[in-house]
Structures are given as C-alpha cells and as structure tokens.
Amino acid sequence: MSCNFVPNLTIGPPVIAALRKHTDAYLDCHLMVTDPFAYVEPMSKAGASSFTFHVEAVPDKAQQLIKEVHAAGMRAGAAIKPSTPIESVLPLLEGQEAVDLVLVMTVEPGFGGQAFMPEMMPKVQFLRSRFPELDIQVDGGLGPSTIAQAAAAGANCVVAGSSVFGSSDPAAAIAVLREAVLQAQGGTQ
C-alpha cells in the first residue's frame, strides 16, 4: 500500500527481499498503489511470486502491466474494489496476456479488521462459473464465521490477515479456517 491509492503503508520490496532470504515460500504481493508499473521490477528483484494490481489504478493500461509482470517472472493478478463491476476484469481473463488470478475485495481496501461484505460473493460465483480453472482470491473480513461463504462461492485462495495475526495462536486460527473451508467444500480433513 502506498498511502496514495489507500491511506496506509505496509510491506514493500525491502521486506519481500528480506523474507525471500529465509524462505522459498510463495510470496503473494497485493499492491494497492496508484502506479503499479513502478513496482514491477523492484518486486520481481525482491523475489515476489505474484503481483496483484488494482484495475482501478490502470484502467487503460492493464494489458501492458500484465505483460510486464509476466516478463518479470511473476504471476499477474487483478484486484477489484467492492464498488468496481466484475465486468472490468473480464477483458483481462482472455488472450495471450491474461491474468493468473482475480482478487475480489470483500472490504474497502486500506485497513485490516473491517467487516466482511457478503454482497461480494456473487462476483466470486460469477467468476467461478465462467472460469472454472481461475485462481479466485478474496481479501477482507475473513474469519471462522465468514470464510465458508467465500469457499462455497468458489474462492480457492483467501487472505485472512487480521483473523490469523490477531489471534493468540495463529497456527490454531489457521487450522480452524482450513476446517471451515473443507466443510464448505463438502469434505473433511
């Protein structure tokens, strides 16, 4: 986050680079910035695995950004705010330079700890019905009481920052969330 697109600043390329030195884990980077082009090279060099940008920041340049992200060796993702119509990402899901994932925000971006917006689930359902193999991520307000809705709607990747890191036992919080997802998908662990 850049303090421009949203009024908050969090992790940037130096932190990604520091993390990369200690893990080969998938580093999923969601950039809430007004000029995502400026971050492609720094995030790639830092070791980011994926680079998700907001379509609202690059309404006429998204295809070029996707091309640059792929050329830099990262997966490309397109995020949409709650007020952004799902149709805004459809042109980015087909063709040679298609995004690898779509992130549906289930809160207004910028600050953790907000309430989940279940009215965003039709967007997830629509994407899942049209693009069964697409990675669909949801971010915002996800916890034990809301994560099942996202999984049932078709999300296969969730961001549950406050729910996990606000817990006194993050590992137990993750286990509870995983179990809720499995139950929503009709399975057990």
Q: CA 148, CA 152: separation in Å to the nearest integer? A: 6
pLDDT category, 1, cuts 50, 70, 90?
A: very low
Residue 56 placed within a domain: yes
Whether 119 and 186 map to the same domain: the answer is: yes
126 φ, ψ (degrees, to nearest 5): -60, -50
Supply the pLDDT for residue 3.
44
Least Cα distance to 37 among 80, 72, 4 occurs for 72
Position with higher pLDDT, 45 vs 114: 45
Cα distances (Å, whole numbers) of residue 5 to 12, 45, 55, 163, 171: 14, 23, 12, 24, 32
Supply the pLDDT for residue 180.
85
Residue 91 placed within a domain: no
Whether 17 and 70 map to the same domain: the answer is: yes
pLDDT category, 161, cuts 50, 70, 90?
A: confident
Whether 50 and 118 map to the same domain: the answer is: no
Whether 117 and 186 map to the same domain: the answer is: yes
Q: What total number of domains does the chain contain?
A: 2
| Domain end marker among 48, 81, 114 | 81
Residue entry with tokens 């289930």: 106
Reported as a single tens digit per residue, the pLDDT across 80-111 is 999 999 999 999 999 888 999 999 999 998 77
Whether 129 and 60 map to the same domain: the answer is: no
pTM: 0.89
Q: What angle do CA 173, 77, 20 make, to 5 degrees?
A: 60
Domain that holds residue 72: 1-81
Whether 110 and 184 map to the same domain: the answer is: yes
Supply the pLDDT for residue 2.
41
| Domain end marker among 81, 114, 137 | 81
Whether 65 and 141 map to the same domain: the answer is: no
Position with higher pLDDT, 124 vs 15: 124
